[in-house]
């Protein structure tokens, strides 16, 4: 069984999260400048046994696509072309809100909660956990 990699792709920064090899526990991997993510993911998938890549699908509350899909879609297509493993979208609505909430619930100080890179990484973990929860229900 391989790892599952989740990506919260943003205009400036991108958070990444990954499961353990048994796909039980999601954890933050890193946050990178978005222009470095494609190379990082390709390298990571070459070094580690990755079974699937999840990319956050940005929708608005009214179910229409978010403006951020204009830069997420080309990244997604690049991944699909370059990887031989499944690459799929997963709804990312509310992940930033949930990331801030988990930081607050975890007792992080205000300075740490303002760390946007940490928020992006936690958002990727939430995307991954959402996928794992839905996979268990199937």
pTM equals: 0.83
Name the superfamily (CATH) of residues 3-137: YqgF/RNase H-like domain (3.30.420.140)
Kindly report, residue by residue over 70-107, the tens digit of the pLDDT: 899 999 999 999 999 999 998 876 566 555 566 555 66
Within 8 A by CB and 6+ apart from 79, the residues are 38, 41, 53, 55, 87
* CA 86 to the chain's CA centroid: 15
- Cβ–Cβ under 8 Å, residues 13 and 122: no
pLDDT score at 137: 45
Mean pLDDT over the full length of the chain:
84
What pLDDT was estimated at residue 103?
Answer: 53
Q: What is the pLDDT of residue 91?
A: 81
Instruction: Give the pLDDT of residue 46.
Output: 95
The predicted pLDDT at position 117 comes to: 64
């Amino acid at each position: 069984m391989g790892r599952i990699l989740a990506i919260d792709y943003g205009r400036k920064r991108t958070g990444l999260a990954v499961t353990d090899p048994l796909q039980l526990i999601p954890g933050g991997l890193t946050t990178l400048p978005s222009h470095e993510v494609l190379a990082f993911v390709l390298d990571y998938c070459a070094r580690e046994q990755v079974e699937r890549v999840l990319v956050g699908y940005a929708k608005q509350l009214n179910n229409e696509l978010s403006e951020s899909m204009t830069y997420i879609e080309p990244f997604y297509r690049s991944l699909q072309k370059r990887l031989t493993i499944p690459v799929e979208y997963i709804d990312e609505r509310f992940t930033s809100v949930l990331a801030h909430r988990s930081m607050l619930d975890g007792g992080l100080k205000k300075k740490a909660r303002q760390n946007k890179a940490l928020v992006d990484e936690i958002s990727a973990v939430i995307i991954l956990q959402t996928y794992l929860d839905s996979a268990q229900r199937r």
